[in-house]
Structure 1
Amino acid sequence: MGLIYNPRSHHNKGQDLTSKVSPDVFVAQPGNRDQLPDALARLAERGIDLLVINGGDGTVRDVLTCGEPIFGDDWPVVAVLPKGKTNALAVDLGGPSDWTLQCAVDAFENGKRIRRSPMAITPLDQPDARVLGFILGAGAFTLGTKAGQSAHKLGAFNSLAVGVTTLWGILQAVFGSRANPWRRGAKMDIRLAPNGVPLEHSGMGEADRRLILLASTLERFPGGIRPFGSLGKGLKLAVLDQISRWMTLMLPAILFERGPKNLRERGFHQLAAKSFDFELDDQFILDGEAFPAGRYRIEAGPEIEFVAP
C-alpha cells in the first residue's frame, strides 16, 4: 500500500503518519506539487495494490494529474481520506468524514469498489498541460468558489459551505443589476462532440454569454443537490443562461429536482456528453483551483477503481 499525505490539507494533523497499520504501507509526503511525480513513481516501482490519498479535492486532482503519465490505464485501487476543506469525491463515494488509514485498508479487503473516470481537461494550444479532476465550473461558479473560501474562513465546510455560497449567489443574482458579476456571467463558446455543434442557447440574455457552466463525472454531490437532474454515469453538463429573476429564485428547487418543467426553454440545460470543447474569457475552477481563460477540450479520463465502505 502507498500513502500520499498532504500535511497542508485542512483536517490533517499527522495522525495517519504515525498509524502502525502495517509495515507494508509506504508513506510519501511531497513538500509541494512538483515533488508528486517522483513520489508516485517510487510507489509504482514498489508495485502497490492500494493508493491512499490523504487530502481534499485539490490533492486528489494533483495526484491523479501527476499519476496519469505513470500509471496510464493501469491504476492501483485508490482510497480517499477526506481531509480537505471540500471533499466532493469522498461524498460521491460514500466515505465518512472520519475515515482513517485503517478504515481504507479494511475497505480494500472487505468493502465495495466504485469505478469513476475523472474529467480530462486539455488546453487546445498546449496539449501536454492536461489535468484530471472531478468538478469544473465557470461563470458565476468562479465567484461562488471565492465566496466559498470566505465561508471557509467563517468555519463553513462541505455541505454547509455549499448552502452558504448558493444562498449568497442567489441573493446577488436576484437583487443585483445586469452589471453585477453574479448576473453577468462570462462569454462562453461551448461545442459538443463529435461534430462541434454549438450548445443551444435559450435566448435569455446575451447569446454569447452564460451565467454558469458546471461539468462533472460525479454522481452524488455535497448537500444532496442534483445539478444534473436524473443524469447518472459519465460526463455531464449543466449550463445556465442569463435567466430571469424568477427563475433565479427557483434555483434551490431546481437543484433538488423540484423545479418547473421545460427547463431548457427557461435557460437551464442539463445534458450528458461524450466530450465538449469550450472557450471562455474568464478563469474557470477545477476542484477548487483557478485555471486561466482559453480554449479547452473536456472528456472522460482513465477509469479508476475506488474503495468505499
Structure 2
Amino acid sequence: MFFIRGALFSLTVALIHNPRSRRNRHTGSAFVSEASQLLGRDFLLPTSHDELDRRVGELARRGVDLIVVDGGDGTVSDVLTAIHRAYPADALPRVAVFPSGNSNLIAGDVGLRRRGMEALRRIVSAPETFVPIRRRPLRISWSDGSQPERLGMFHGSTGFARAIAIAHSPHVLRYAPHGFAVAATLIGAVGGLALKSRRSIWLNGDAVDIRAGEDVLPHERSFLFLATGLQHLDHGIWPFWRRPGDPVQGVHFLEIAARPRRLAPAMLALLRGRAPDWLRAHPDYRSGCVDEITLRSRSDFVLDGEELSPGPGGSIVVGRGPVFTFLQG
C-alpha cells in the first residue's frame, strides 16, 4: 500500500528492463532471473519499440499503476512515450527509474539512488518509503505530422547534435563518469573548435528560426540549443536561467548564437551552474523557461541520446508534456 495526501493506493508493480543499458550489461543473468521470479508476467524485456508499445498497452488495460524503468535516459524516454500513448492522461502510472544507463540525467533528477534487486524488493514491499515528485517531460511534436509525438527530458540541437558524437565516443564513455554527460557534450561542442578543419563549420552553426513562448529569438544561425524538463542536473551543472516573469517549471532552454563571443568564460560559468549578469545581458546568449518552443531547422536533433530528424517540414514543437509522478529515494 502507498500513502499519498491522505489516501491509500494499492500499487501493482511492473518492471521494464533494458539488458543493453551499460550498467545492466555487467549484471549478467542473475537480476533477470530473480526479478522475473518476483514479478512474473510484470517483468518485461521488450526487444523493439513496437513490442514496448504493445506491452505497455497491456499494462494499461490491466491497470498497472507503478512502472519501474531499468535503463538509461533513452530507455526512460521510450517508456514515458509508450505510457503517454497507452494510458489516459488523468490516470498515468507512477514511475521509478533505476540509474542503469550510460547516461543517467533523468535518474539524477527524478530517479532512485540504488538499483538491482535491493531497490526492486523495497519498491514492491515498501513503496511508501519513497518520495513522490512531479515533473512534466518535454513533449516533442512534428509540425508536419511525419512522426508521432515523443516524450523526453533533454533535447539538444545544432552544435549539441554534433558534440553528442564526441560525448558518446568509446574513449569518452570509457573514462568519463556517467553523471558528466552534459558536461562532456558541452565541452565537446567547444572542443570541436580546436580542429582547424571543423572550426568554421562549428562556429557558423545551423540556420534556425526559434520562437520561445511569445518571443522570436533574434539569431538566424545557432551554435548550440538545449531544452529540458528536468529541474536538476548532477554536479551543480545548470546551463539555464530564468527571466523575470518566467514560470518556475516549464521548458528550460539555452540558445547560443553562431560565432558566439566570450564562449569559453560563458561555458565555464554554465558548467558551474552560474549565470552572471554579463552573460544574461549578452546578445549572443538567450535562456529562459516557457511553455512551448517552436524550432525550425533542417538539422537533426537529439532527445535523451537518440538522434531524430525534424522531418520534411523541418519544424518541431517542444512543449510541456503531461505531469508524471516519479518515486525518489
- Call closer, same or farther: CA 1:83–1:175 in 2, change over 3 Å: same
264, 267, 271: which one aligns with 1:255: 271
Residue 198 (1) aligns with residue 198 (2): no
Aligned to 2:137: 118
Residues 90-105 of structure 1 mapped to structure 2, 5 A cutoff: 90-93=107-110, 95-96=112-113, 98=115, 100-105=119-124
Residues 84-163 of structure 1 mapped to structure 2, 5 A cutoff: 84-93=101-110, 95-96=112-113, 98=115, 100-105=119-124, 108-126=127-145, 129-150=148-169, 151-163=171-183
Higher helix proportion, which one? 2
- Call closer, same or farther: CA 1:127–1:108 in 2, change over 3 Å: farther
- Call closer, same or farther: CA 1:109–1:18 in 2, change over 3 Å: farther
Residue 16 (1) aligns with residue 61 (2): no
State the alpha-carbon separation in 1 of the partners of residues 120 and 239 from structure 2: 32
State the alpha-carbon separation in 2 of the partners of residues 11 and 125 from structure 1: 37
% identity of equivalent residues: 29
Aligned to 1:271: 288
How far did residue 94 of structure 1 move? 5.3
State the alpha-carbon separation in 2 of the partners of residues 178 and 266 from structure 1: 24
Residue 46 (1) aligns with residue 66 (2): no
227, 231, 239: which one aligns with 1:227: 239
- Call closer, same or farther: CA 1:288–1:128 in 2, change over 3 Å: closer
CA-to-aligned-CA distance 1:177-231 (integer Å, 9 cap, x gap):
88533322211101133x5x412x3xxxxx4101111011101113320111368
Aligned to 2:299: 282
TM-score with structure 2 length normalisation? Answer: 0.82
On the 8 A contact 2:193/2:199 being kept in 1, the answer is no
State the alpha-carbon separation in 2 of the partners of residues 48 and 8 from structure 1: 25
State the alpha-carbon separation in 2 of the partners of residues 174 and 248 from structure 1: 12
The 10-residue stretch of structure 1 (91-100 or 80-89) with the greater mean CA deviation from structure 2: 91-100
TM-score with structure 1 length normalisation? Answer: 0.87
Report the 3-state secondary structure (helix = DSSP H, G, I; strand = E; otherwise coil) of the residue aligned with 1:180.
helix
State the alpha-carbon separation in 1 of the partners of residues 304 and 188 from structure 2: 20
18, 37, 50: which one aligns with 1:6: 18
On the 8 A contact 1:2/1:27 being kept in 2, the answer is yes
State the alpha-carbon separation in 2 of the partners of residues 107 and 58 from structure 1: 28
How far did residue 17 of structure 1 move? 2.3
The runs of 5 or more residues in structure 2 that have no matched partner are 1-12
